[in-house]
């Protein structure tokens, strides 16, 4: 997990450290990207929820690294 601004990354790190449960909701466009400052790893979260457009290969890769992943269903039209 990354952020461009060091102060924001530090704040997010503190928020994670104070949480009793950690959930991440992320859409497929944010996966496999980088920024200047790291504040967490995907394995730091109790549950990661991804959107319906997340490729199966990315979900498999995350699960193989020990990440608990749930794929949200697409909203009905």
pLDDT digits (tens, 9 = 90+) for 7-48: 888 888 888 889 899 999 988 888 877 777 777 888 888 999
User: How confident is the model at residue 2, as a pLDDT?
Assistant: 64
Instruction: Pick the closest to residue 48 from 35, 74, 66, 36 (CA basis).
Output: 66
User: How confident is the model at residue 68, as a pLDDT?
Assistant: 95
Q: Cα 27 to chain center, whole Å?
A: 9
Show the DSSP H helices in the chain as ranges.
6-18, 56-64
Q: What is the pTM of this model?
A: 0.77
User: How confident is the model at residue 61, as a pLDDT?
Assistant: 92
Q: Which single residue is written with the structure tokens 């457009």?
A: 53
Say yes or no to pLDDT of 73 above 80. Answer: yes
User: How confident is the model at residue 41, as a pLDDT?
Assistant: 83
């Amino acid at each position: 997990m990354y952020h461009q601004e060091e102060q924001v990354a530090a704040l997010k790190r503190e928020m994670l450290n104070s949480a009793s449960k950690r959930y991440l909701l992320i859409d497929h466009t944010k996966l496999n990207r980088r920024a200047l400052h790291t504040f967490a790893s995907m394995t730091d979260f109790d549950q990661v929820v991804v959107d319906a457009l997340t490729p199966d290969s990315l979900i498999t890769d995350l699960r193989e690294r020990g990440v608990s992943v749930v794929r949200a269903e697409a909203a009905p039209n």
